[in-house]
Structure 1
Amino acid sequence: MSLTFRPCVVIPCYNHGAMMARVLARLQPFGLPCIVVDDGSSEETRLQLNELAAREPNLTLIRLAENAGKGVAVIRGLQAAAEAGYSHAVQVDADGQHAIEDIPQLLELARRHPAALISGQPIYDDSIPRSRLYGRWITHVWVWIETLSLQLKDSMCGFRVYPIAPTLRLAQRVALGQRMDFDTEVMVRLYWQGNPSYFVPTRVTYPPDGLSHFDAFKDNCRISWMHTRLFLGMLPRIPSLLLRRSPVHWAQQEEVKGLWGMRLMLLVWRLLGRKAFTLLLYPVVAVYWLSAHRARRASGAGSPACGRSLAPGSSRCLR
């Protein structure tokens, strides 16, 4: 447990002035200093944030001259947190969708693993758009390929605790994604850097009056380009990534829960047919093949015995 553990909260805000008061009220019981980064919001939001900063002694307000993106706002908030002497920063989105009440669990993990990124692992209700859910599973698969590991359970949740110093070192060395590509890229690159991620299950709700800044075309293009860069960056790192395998016996490892992934695959089958389904299987199988080598070896050792126990001709039924 770190003796210098000093957490704060960093909230990137772009035109969420109306929601910010509710978010800050939910944060108040934890007594954490809050840094709100206004990412070039409208005049109305600027005035709302000014009022909040005037009456909230625990709130520091930072302004960006123009909208630069969530990634830029978060890094600016982390820089301010480092200057103020904080060691860790809880990132909370300003739209009110996160279960802020789970902050103690995230901070406890951060205390125990001070060099790690601690992230929420979303539990969704029926309010999540299905397109978002399926899109997340595509990103999950790519992240598993980019890390040659199944350890990163969800890279897109904006409810997380950053170890400030390692994250800023990364941001100084690499040009990270500035918008919706930021959350995933920073987690993958921290993993490459030797900073693991740990996860806390947490409920995520999309408020009916919530404001989303996701641009279906532009942000999907950014995310696709990000995965291209990360995949190419993974290739020279293959030896070091393979050496980082956990020594835990395969039978003791947590089972990968892929219900929504299976639903996505079934949807692809129904909408696009067998060829598209088969093509999508290649990266999925590659991830499991690369990451589950101990289970593979155990299956290989047991398969001859299984083969001997089958009745003559029964192997044809299993093809």
Structure 2
Amino acid sequence: MSEGYPAVGRVLVVIPTYNEVDNVRQITGRVRAAAPDVDILIADDNSPDGTGAVADELAAADKQVHVLHRTDKQGLGAAYIAGFRWAREHDYDAVVEMDADGSHAPEELPKLLAAAADADVVVGSRWVRGGQVVDWPMHRLVLSRGANFYTRMMLGMPLHDATAGYRLYRMAVLDKIDLSAVESQGYCFQVDLSWRAFRAGFRFAEVPIRFVERERGVSKMSSSIIGEAMWKVAVWGTSSRLARLRGDKRR
């Protein structure tokens, strides 16, 4: 169990896995090297490729690595929520979301931790000055930038990368949000949590990161995830505007 960081407290990095046997050992080692005082929770959705067994080996060798075995594949959002609840039960002060595939460089984690001194939610952003995306085809760049512009315009959130999956939440934010009401999956899950935290009045910060496309394994992005995100953002934005017209200060 780590002692934590003075400005943040005890930090848990939640890494969801499903068929990440080629990545889990490497990403865990990089996190431990980059930020020795964080703990790690590998939330495995019963991967058939043996990821869970490798995670158990890592946990047995390092007291700052933990494993949450889930019974089946329920999606990224459900895995993160399970990790958030585990963090609450074990008295952590902040939680970091991080992909297992190396797209989120653990070496940049100290930047998120430093920014948390003055923020409740810290987003590792690809689309602020200094941010970078490596090895994406043009259509994915256009899709991501367009989706984030659309989200910013529809919801009025001052975030350049609302779909980013590399982020830190203080536990006070997750305690305020009704996690049982968060049903979104994939990239919409990130927008959903951002929207709830924004409406609750929490402080946001964005720090630039270098996002690298995964080299091993298969991306979890699908057209259904993108469609869900676009539809829900439209519903949330329209509802917010109607609420303002009615004089509802909660937006």
C-alpha distance in structure 2 between counterparts of 1:205 and 1:3, whole Å: 29
Q: Is the 8 A contact 1:5 1:111 kept in 2?
A: no
**Does the alignment pair 1:61 with 2:67?**
yes
Paired position in structure 1 for 2:208? 201
CA distance change for structure 1 residues 172 and 91 in 2, over 3 Å: closer, same or farther? closer
1:14-60 CA deviation, whole Å, 9 max, x = no partner?
A: 11121011111111121211111112322422222222222222111
Paired position in structure 2 for 1:136? 144
Give the 4+ runs in structure 1 shifted more than 6 A: 1-4
C-alpha distance in structure 2 between counterparts of 1:81 and 1:180, whole Å: 22
- Report the count of equivalent residues: 240
C-alpha distance in structure 1 between counterparts of 2:240 and 2:107, whole Å: 36
**What SS is found at the alignment partner of 2:178?**
helix
C-alpha distance in structure 1 between counterparts of 2:241 and 2:109, whole Å: 36
Q: Which amino acid aligns with 1:170?
A: I
CA distance change for structure 1 residues 236 and 96 in 2, over 3 Å: closer, same or farther? same
- CA shift, 1:176, in A, is 3.5
Higher normalized helix content (fraction of residues): 1
1:108-156 CA deviation, whole Å, 9 max, x = no partner?
A: 111222xx2101111334401322211112221222123324x211012
C-alpha distance in structure 2 between counterparts of 1:145 and 1:71, whole Å: 24
Provide TM-score, normalisation by structure 1.
0.68
**What SS is found at the alignment partner of 1:181?**
helix
**What SS is found at the alignment partner of 1:195?**
coil
- CA shift, 1:232, in A, is 2.7
**What SS is found at the alignment partner of 1:17?**
coil
**Does the alignment pair 1:119 with 2:126?**
no
**What SS is found at the alignment partner of 2:116?**
helix
Task: Work out which of the residue numbers 3, 9, 12 in structure 2 matches 1:8.
Answer: 12
Q: Give the RMSD, CA atoms, in angstroms.
A: 2.6
Paired position in structure 1 for 2:52? 46
C-alpha distance in structure 1 between counterparts of 2:134 and 2:97, whole Å: 24
Q: Which amino acid aligns with 2:32?
A: Q
Q: Where do 5+ consecutive residues of structure 1 fail to align?
A: 245-319
What percent of counterpart residues are identical? 24
1:178-227 CA deviation, whole Å, 9 max, x = no partner?
A: 33321122112211121232100111111332431112x22122222222
Q: Which amino acid aligns with 2:219?
A: S
Q: Is the 8 A contact 2:16 2:100 kept in 1?
A: yes
1:237-260 CA deviation, whole Å, 9 max, x = no partner?
A: 54799x99xxxxxxxxxxxxxxxx
**Does the alignment pair 1:190 with 2:197?**
yes
